[in-house]
Amino acid sequence: IHGDGSNQGNATRLSIISCTKTEKYVKKGLPIFLAHINTKEVEDKSKEKRLEDVPTVRDFPEVFPEDLPGLPPI
């Protein structure tokens, strides 16, 4: 629920207000927006990704050595 902006001048994108304050806003006829936000579990697929699966790397294996010998000269 977006509040009345009474966040002491701090920039914020979200204000959470109490149920009591929400009821007061509704009684005054002010617009009220309710958002339900939940998190989504993200599966780590990095183990499935391999450099060899990239078409360009497959086409030019000599350019993409498996082990780098060291840092390039400066």
- pTM of structure: 0.32
* Stretch 51-64: mean pLDDT: 77
**Is 9 within the bounds of a domain?**
yes
Torsion of CA 62, 63, 69, 74, to 10 degrees: 150
Q: Is the pLDDT of residue 15 over 50?
A: yes
**Is 22 within the bounds of a domain?**
yes
**Is 42 within the bounds of a domain?**
no
**Is 63 within the bounds of a domain?**
no
**Is 5 within the bounds of a domain?**
yes
**Is 12 within the bounds of a domain?**
yes
By the 8 A CB rule, do 3 and 16 touch? Answer: yes
pLDDT at residue 33, rounded to an integer: 78
Domain range for 17 is 1-36
Burial of 19 (0-12, 13-18, 19+ CB in 10 A): exposed
pLDDT grade for 35, boundaries at 50, 70 and 90: confident
Q: Domains in the chain: how many in total?
A: 1
Provide, rounded to the nearest whole percent, the portion of the chain with pLDDT above 70.
61
